[in-house]
Amino acid sequence: MLNRLSTFLYRRPRLVLGLLLLPPMVWFVVVYLGSLSTMLLNSFFYLDGFTGQVVHQFTLQTYLKLLDPTNLQIFSRTTLMAALVTIACILIAFPVSYYAARFASKGMKTFLYLAVTLPLWSSYVVRVYSWKLILAQEGIISWFAGITHLDGLLNWYLNLPVVGGTSLSVSSTGIFLVFVYIWLPYMILPIQTALERVPKSLVEASSDLGANSSQTFLNVILPLAFPGVVAGSIFTFSLTLGDFIVPSLFGNSSFFIGKAVLTYMGTSGNIPLAAAFTMGPIVIMIIYLLIARRLGAFDAL
Amino acid sequence: MRSRKNIPTSSEPASWGLKLGTLAALLFLHIPVWLIFIYSFTTETSAYTFPPPSLTLKWIPQAIANPDMQSSLVLTIRVATLATFTALILGTLAAAAVFRYNFFGKEAISFVLILPLALPGIVTGIAMRSAISLLQIPFSFWTIVIGHATFCVVTVYNNVLARFRRTSGSMVEASMDLGANSFQTFWHIVLPNIGTALLAGSILAFSLSFDEVIVTTFTAGQQQTLPIWIFSQILKPRNRPITNVTAMLVVLITALPIILAQRLTAQTTDTEGDKS
């Protein structure tokens, strides 16, 4: 019986393909793409201010609300934060990736890989929480500043406009530090992959032709690592754009995209505005991905 | 691979600056989590004072006995188990289809599967919430599971597809030539071969689901999974010692399986090296 079924299926590869593909495709088309289209649909509805009900009628007024100065400011603030976090991640990640890809022995490489991926997979909320402990007014940074007599410097920094605050925990510097910490592994891994693909022969050829090691680094290795940097930046940029946990726990009351979406959704039940707002990061990411593709980032993923 | 000597990839040794930079970045990645361990034993209950005034073990039994923590832990495990199971089936089917067959739109499959993970989490969250609201689906255990399964599929898919590409097709052909039917070949040849990849994929899917907050915020309604419970505790601290201990336990519970998953995938690359 099974033999006959097996032969029957063996002769019909298209049928087997259909049977294999059907469940995952139905799931993704119905659940995921279906949800995304209801989001698009919702963004063209509006919330009736008097009844508090969502009115299922086509309108562009929800999108027009995005052009309010406060909302535009939220978009630019979040994009700026994402850009700064990305740059900081590149600067911190590059030495690690470079060391792991070019100098580490095999055992060291395994250790580094584990050291980078373990934080990546371990609990996100808990890792965010650890910074609550570090940045608190009575926390380890203030203690460290106290014993090294740098508290004057810390207070001077906290008194600065924009980056300062009553404590690091409620300053925009706090948000920035936590974001860099949380997304750093996403930057290390693609840069390392890109660096490992640099053929050894190219580096040798460069030094044979008389380049010193810094010239080789600037003219051979760095350009070839660039797609990896762009690939990593896709993650750090996109993840910062959509996060609401970090801005809810750190920083002052100024809104970021994720926090704004959560507030519209949660307190006022304004799903149309939340949906329209979410189109913001999607559009920013699509533009970003198009640029990244031109820079060759997808070969390094 | 194992038989070869450890040949560094570069002839020159790394400069001290580079080594220091690497060390600093690794400490930056790891020290914060160690601090949670210290804070789990502090006697200070209302502030994050460092160094802790003195240490105590009394919070650990209290945290484990906390009913809110227990119920959210149970919910989280149930959700993660079911989401992993769903992802296991969907991911393996998709990987098999992509590996064995050529068809129109094959390249798009990987792209669509990774979308829920690559787009900001809030996009998946709001999208699901929009569907829930538009179709007037009541929030339940199942709405959380459906959300989680969607972004877990890709971890299983990637692991299984990578393993398929590494296993030689000749074994499957030999099995068929020796008279086994497709089901016997699947059971005796394919399944043992992809077994550890399935395990690694499901461990990663499980830990992904176990930790998820952003999508869950929009699909859970009033129910609290463990990460949501911790998030609410950080937002409005009610019982800091218990939060600290729970955070420590979560780190411990998730670290072991992740190390195991790394081992399982590392073995694959080792055997691959032996073959070549």
Q: How many CB pairs under 8 A join A and B?
A: 272
Contact flag A285-B119 (C-beta cutoff 8 Å): yes
Please answer yes or no on whether B234 and A92 come within 8 Å at the CB atom.
no
- Give the pLDDT of residue B275: 33
Supply the DSSP symbol for A299.
G
Spatial contact of B154 and B113, defined as CB atoms under 8 Å apart: yes
Interface of A with B in 169-198 (CB under 8 A): 181, 184-185, 188, 196
- pLDDT band for A298, please (50, 70, 90 cuts): low
Asked if A248 contacts B83 with a C-beta cutoff of 8 angstroms, the reply is: no
Among the listed residues A224, A227, A233, the one whose alpha carbon sits nearest the alpha carbon of residue A88: A233
Q: Is the pLDDT of residue A155 over 80?
A: yes
Mean pLDDT of A5-24: 85
| Beta-carbon separation of B119 and A243 below 8 A | no
* pLDDT score, position B85: 95
Read off the pLDDT of residues A101-113 as tens digits, 9 standing for 90 and up.
888 888 888 889 8
| Stated length of chain B | 276
Nearest to A260 by CA among A73, A52, A48: A73
Q: Do the Cβ atoms of A281 and B120 come within 8 Å?
A: yes
Among candidates B115, B134, B211 on the partner chain, residue whose Cβ is nearest the Cβ of A38: B134
* Alpha-carbon distance values, B181 to A181, A295, B96 (Å): 52, 48, 17
Query: What is the tens place of the pLDDT at every residue in A184-204?
Result: 999 999 899 889 888 888 888
pLDDT averaged over chain B?
Answer: 84
B22 and chain A in contact, CB less than 8 A: yes
| Residue A127 pLDDT | 92
Tell me, what's the pLDDT at A164?
80
CA torsion sign, A282 to A283 to A289 to A290?
positive
The answer to whether B122 contacts A244, with C-beta atoms less than 8 Å apart, is yes
Distance separating alpha carbons of residues A182 and A128, to the nearest angstrom: 7
Restricting to B residues 177-196, those with a Cβ less than 8 Å away from any Cβ of A are: 181-183
Q: Does A210 touch chain B (CB under 8 A)?
A: no
- pLDDT above 70 as % of chain B: 92
In B, which residues are within 8 Å of A278 by CB distance? 122-123, 126-127
Which residues in B lie closer than 8 A to residue A116 (C-beta atoms)? 29
Contacts of B183 in chain A (CB under 8 A): 2, 5-6
Tell me if A136 and B47 make a contact (CB, 8 A cut-off).
yes
d(CA A54, CA A268): 11
Over residues B49-53, mean pLDDT: 80
Query: Nearest-CA residue of chain B relative to A186?
Result: B118
Which amino acid, residue B37?
F
Residue B97 CB coordination number (10 Å): 22
For residue A133, pLDDT beyond 70 = yes
> Higher model confidence: residue A92 or residue A45?
A92
Do B121 and A242 lie within an 8 Å CB cutoff? yes
Kindly give, in sequence order, each residue whose CB lies less than 8 Å from that of residue A257, ignoring residues fewer than 6 positions away: A74, A75, A78, A241, A242, A277, A280, A281, B122
Write down the mean pLDDT value for chain A. 87
Task: Show the tokens assigned to A181.
Answer: 């910490």
**CA–CA distance, B16 with A185 (Å, rounded to integer):** 22
Mean pLDDT of B257-262: 82
Query: Given phi > 0 = left and psi -120 to 50 = alpha, else beta, which region is B52?
Result: beta
Please determine, for residue B25, whether its predicted confidence score (pLDDT) is greater than 90.
Answer: yes
pLDDT tier at A301 (50, 70, 90 boundaries)?
A: low
ipTM associated with this complex: 0.85
Give the residue-averaged pLDDT of B243-248.
90
**Can you point out the beta strands (E) in A235-275?**
none
Per-residue pLDDT at A181 exceeds 90:
yes
Indicate the pLDDT class of residue B10, thresholds 50, 70 and 90: low
Distances (CA, A) of A222 to A91, A195, A211, A213: 13, 9, 14, 12
Q: How far is A168 from chain B (nearest CA, A)?
A: 13
A210: left (phi over 0), alpha (psi -120 to 50) or beta: left
**Distance separating alpha carbons of residues A287 and B124, to the nearest angstrom:** 19
CB contact (8 A) between residue A285 and residue B9: no
Chain segment B104-154, per-residue pLDDT in tens: 878 788 878 888 877 888 899 999 988 988 888 888 899 999 999 999 998
pLDDT confidence of residue B2? 41
Task: Point out the least confidently predicted range of A216-230, B93-107, B258-272.
Answer: B258-272
Q: Do B120 and A285 touch (CB under 8 A)?
A: yes
Q: How confident is the model at residue B274 (pLDDT cuts 50, 70, 90)?
A: very low
A residues 236-275 near B, CB within 8 Å?
A: 238-239, 241-245, 248-249, 257-258, 261-262, 265, 271, 274-275
Q: Is B213 on the interface with A (CB under 8 A)?
A: yes
- Count of residues making up chain A: 301
Report yes or no: A54 at the B interface, CB cutoff 8 Å: yes
B82 to each of A11, B90, B91, B149, how far by Cα in Å? Answer: 35, 12, 14, 8
Confidence of residue B79 (pLDDT cuts 50, 70, 90): very high
Where residue A52 falls (left for φ over 0; alpha for ψ -120 to 50; beta otherwise) is: left
**Ordered alpha helix ranges (H), B101-190:** 106-118, 121-134, 141-166, 169-177, 182-185
Is the bond leading into B51 cis (omega within 30 degrees of zero)?
A: yes
Spatial separation of the C-alpha atoms in residues B87 and B150, rounded to whole Å: 7
| Closest to B123 (Cα-Cα) out of A285, A266, A182 | A285
CA-based nearest residue in chain A for residue B8? A105
Which chain A residues are closer than 8 Å to B41 by Cβ? none
Q: Do B123 and A282 touch (CB under 8 A)?
A: yes
Q: Which of A2, A123, A143 sits opposite B183 (nearest CB)?
A: A2
Q: How far is B55 from chain A (nearest CA, A)?
A: 16
Residue A72: pLDDT band by 50, 70, 90 thresholds? Answer: very high
What would the pLDDT profile of A50-65 be if each residue is shown by its tens digit? 777 888 888 888 898 8
CB-count exposure of residue A51 (10 Å: 0-12, 13-18, 19+): exposed
pLDDT tens profile B186-211: 888 888 888 888 988 898 899 889 98
- How much is the pLDDT for B6? 39
Mean pLDDT of B76-90: 95
Share of chain A above pLDDT 90, in %: 26
Q: Average of pLDDT values for A180-187?
A: 94
A225-239, B76-90, B226-240, B259-273: the lowest-pLDDT one: B259-273
Q: CB distance from A119 to chain B under 8 Å?
A: yes
CB A75 within 8 A of CB A279: no
CA A116 to chain B, closest CA, distance in angstroms equals 8
Instruction: Kindly state the average pLDDT of the residues B245-268.
Output: 81
Q: Higher pLDDT residue, B94 or B182? A: B94
Strands (E), A89-247: none
Residues 6+ apart with CB under 8 A from B191: none
A183–chain B nearest CA distance, Å: 10
Instruction: Give the model confidence (pLDDT) of A212-253 as tens digits.
Output: 888 888 888 888 888 889 888 988 998 899 899 999 999 888
Cα angle A261, A267, A270; round to 5:
60
Which residues of B are less than 8 Å from A286 in CB distance?
none
pLDDT in tens, A76-127: 999 999 999 999 999 999 999 999 988 888 888 888 988 998 888 788 899 9
Question: pLDDT-derived band of residue A280, with 50, 70 and 90 as boundaries?
Answer: confident
CA A136 to chain centre: 25
Distance from the A299 Cα atom to the nearest Cα atom in chain B, whole angstroms: 14
Q: Identify the pLDDT of residue A18.
A: 86
pTM beyond cutoff 0.90: no
pLDDT of B169-187, one tens digit each?
Answer: 788 888 888 888 888 888 8
Mutation for testing the A interface, residue in B6, B16, B29, B39 having most A CBs under 10 Å: B29
CB B246 within 8 A of CB B230: yes
